Structure 1
Amino acid sequence: MTTLHFTKGHGTGNDFVLFADPDGQIDLTPDQIAAIADRHFGVGGDGVIRAVKSRNLADGADALAEDDGAEWFMDYYNADGSIAEMCGNGIRVFARFLFDNGLAELAPGDTMAIGTRAGVRDLQRNHTGFQVDLGRWQLDGGEPLVRAKNLPVARPGLGISVGNPHVVVALASDDELQSADLTYIPVLDPPAPNGANVEFVVPSDPLVKDGVGQIRMRVHERGVGETLSCGTGAAAAALATRHWAGSGAPNQWKVEVPGGTVGVRMFPTEDGEHVSLSGPAELVYEGTLTI
């Protein structure tokens, strides 16, 4: 049996169970991860995150090859125990966990490199909490039809990758957004080969205020279900809305999710356009588990 010291944290209601395993000695099974994330019989969370030194994890070798400053690797798992490539809210909470536990330091204006299965991600502190560069994005996944319970007609979606797969669907009103029953998995036609997070979006009125785009979003996360927030999903939703809005649409967005508000910004780099996510990251409590 293993005694696990854990911390519970969240980013705009997207909640995680985090634990430190710098040497990579704690190897939990998918069933154990799902048991920890269970909201009735476990701690409860949308995901489980292990903080491990990149040098002590096979996936960390790729991160170190990309950036030898990526000392820490965010070993992220969905609530059902499946592996996920990236989590925008999770990486901010992961950073808060490292700093508050004295495992890493980040002075204002400095950048920290963090290894993930989607590649190395750079993170900075800002006035809202933390900002993370999610890297290059791309249109990926086509335009599948999306069926969701309580939405009577299938809607076209737009496939977008920000290191993990998303399909974004535009809805006409807040009533439609609220009526969708996301306790059921939305059906994609054709299906995504590895599944996808599905975001349902309604533009605010006006869409742009003081040069900032504004949208509201709900999401069904692959391997989890509906969550109060999804960081990479917010980025995908803002990117899709800008794509639909056409030339002249802003590169800075405010995305309202059930758990709060996050910021999204698109900006040019040498290797193409990147997208960043900013928002709060909170640690709620600590405890121990016997696994």
Structure 2
Amino acid sequence: MTLPIARDLDRLRTALDQLSGQAYTKGHGTGNDFVLVPDLDGETELSPDHVEALCDRHLGVGADGLIRVVKSTHLIEGRDLLAAHPEAVWFMDYRNADGSIAQTCGNGIRVFVHYLLTRGLVQLAPGQGLAVGTRAGLRTVTRLEDGYSVDMGPWSYLDPELAEERASDSLVLAAGLADPRPALSLSLGNPHTVVALSEEADLQALDLTKTPSVDPVPPRGSNVEFVVPADPLFHEGVGRVRMRVHERGVGETQSCGTGACAAATAVRLWAGDQDALRWSVGVPGGTLGVEFVPQADGSERVILSGPAVLVFDGTVV
């Protein structure tokens, strides 16, 4: 009798064999790591098995997700975006490590633009921005002296009826917590559920190898962020929190860009300080910056900033 795990390994090995000769680059943003596959002319078909095999940390390259580097004109979603935003020449085709499609990735899009820049595919001086297509819509990435910032667009509640309550809309139970904790679900182009913890020890005690349960479950699932506010919360006008995250379709990651935005948004709402516009979010892989930019219509755009690193190039053999 063939055991399920053996069949799974055979499936991944077959997928890697099919990718023989495929070039790739490994990169990361604050430890959130990615396999980047160049497919400028949209000729590479990547199945969920292909993605899962490349992201597998035992048989493949190993990563939290895969980014196909492709021009917008070669995807249906990209062509739809180009109709309104012809400047979005490039599209970040992002997949989770399990092969599922994701809307966007705040760390991944910085690495994506860094790849385009270092490969000479775009020219971008410090202070200049680049329009990038994603399944969550247009994102503008600006080159900084020491990294990149990303206009993540406006944040919103997953449940709009909570706009007045600003407290919680669900309960989350995770391994390492004795009881379910209240949580707030937000959208930064993809779904997030944020849980506040009071002590650093509680944050470290979590076992995020197991998927936290969210009740009720958001329609498309959710990343789950566990945050501990600093004491004092603000230092020199900057709010400070620490975070760990379990990403849907991946597991625990060293960082999550959109998750950092969601964490800062939730803590700011709970603190009730709408004038606190700048935040520092500590993650296991480093530190990310989050800034809120109020808009005339009452919404707030969220700007994420942080580093991007390319680690090595390779070829599947």
TM-score (norm 2): 0.89
Which of 123, 133, 139 aligns to 1:105? It is: 123
Q: Deviations 1:86-133 (Å, cap 9, x if unpaired)?
A: 100000000001100111111222211000000000010113300000
Provide the residue aligned with 1:231 in structure 2: 257
Q: Is the 8 A contact 1:9 1:93 kept in 2?
A: yes
CA displacement at 1:270 relative to structure 2? 4.5
- Read off the aligned partner of 1:281 and give its amino acid letter: A
249 and 206 in structure 1: CA distance in 2 versus 1, 3 angstrom threshold: farther
Provide the residue aligned with 1:247 in structure 2: 273
SS in 2 for 1:86: coil
Question: 2:53 matched to 1:32?
Answer: no
Question: 2:180 matched to 1:180?
Answer: no
CA displacement at 1:189 relative to structure 2? 0.8
What 5-or-longer segments of structure 1 have no aligned partner? none
Whole-angstrom CA distance in 1 between matches of 2:124 and 2:296: 25
Question: 2:88 matched to 1:65?
Answer: no
Instruction: Return 246-255 or 23-32, whichever deviates more.
Output: 246-255
- Read off the aligned partner of 1:273 and give its amino acid letter: E
- Read off the aligned partner of 1:274 and give its amino acid letter: R
Q: Is the 8 A contact 1:242 1:249 kept in 2?
A: no
Whole-angstrom CA distance in 2 between matches of 1:178 and 1:43: 28
Whole-angstrom CA distance in 2 between matches of 1:243 and 1:62: 34
SS in 2 for 1:253: strand
Q: Is the 8 A contact 1:133 1:274 kept in 2?
A: yes
Q: Deviations 1:183-215 (Å, cap 9, x if unpaired)?
A: 000001111111100000000111000000000
Provide the residue aligned with 1:213 in structure 2: 239
Q: How many residues align?
A: 290
- Read off the aligned partner of 1:283 and give its amino acid letter: L
Q: Is the 8 A contact 2:26 2:311 kept in 1?
A: yes
Whole-angstrom CA distance in 2 between matches of 1:97 and 1:63: 22
Q: Deviations 1:107-160 (Å, cap 9, x if unpaired)?
A: 222211000000000010113300000001101146110000110010011011
Q: Is the 8 A contact 1:128 1:278 kept in 2?
A: no
- Read off the aligned partner of 1:194 and give its amino acid letter: R
Provide the residue aligned with 2:62 in structure 1: 44
Question: 2:281 matched to 1:263?
Answer: no
Q: Is the 8 A contact 1:20 1:52 kept in 2?
A: yes
Whole-angstrom CA distance in 1 between matches of 2:210 and 2:275: 33
SS in 2 for 1:55: helix
CA displacement at 1:66 relative to structure 2? 3.0
- Read off the aligned partner of 1:175 and give its amino acid letter: A
Aligned Cα root-mean-square deviation (Å): 1.1
Q: Is the 8 A contact 2:126 2:145 kept in 1?
A: no
Provide the residue aligned with 2:157 in structure 1: 139
What 5-or-longer segments of structure 2 have no aligned partner? 1-17, 163-168
Whole-angstrom CA distance in 2 between matches of 1:152 and 1:247: 30
Whole-angstrom CA distance in 2 between matches of 1:66 and 1:114: 13
Whole-angstrom CA distance in 1 between matches of 2:243 and 2:127: 30
CA displacement at 1:249 relative to structure 2? 5.0
Comparing both structures, which one devotes a greater share of its residues to strand?
Answer: 1
Question: 2:308 matched to 1:281?
Answer: yes
SS in 1 for 2:316: strand
Q: Deviations 1:222-254 (Å, cap 9, x if unpaired)?
A: 000000000000000000000000035511000
Question: 2:177 matched to 1:159?
Answer: no
CA displacement at 1:62 relative to structure 2? 2.2
TM-score (norm 1): 0.97
Question: 2:222 matched to 1:196?
Answer: yes
Structure 1 or 2, whichever has the larger Rg, is 2
CA displacement at 1:61 relative to structure 2? 1.3
- Read off the aligned partner of 2:251 and give its amino acid letter: G
- Read off the aligned partner of 1:280 and give its amino acid letter: P
Whole-angstrom CA distance in 2 between matches of 1:15 and 1:188: 25
Provide the residue aligned with 2:195 in structure 1: 169
Which of 13, 24, 32 aligns to 1:6? It is: 24
Q: Is the 8 A contact 1:265 1:276 kept in 2?
A: yes
Identity %: 57
Q: Is the 8 A contact 1:66 1:120 kept in 2?
A: no
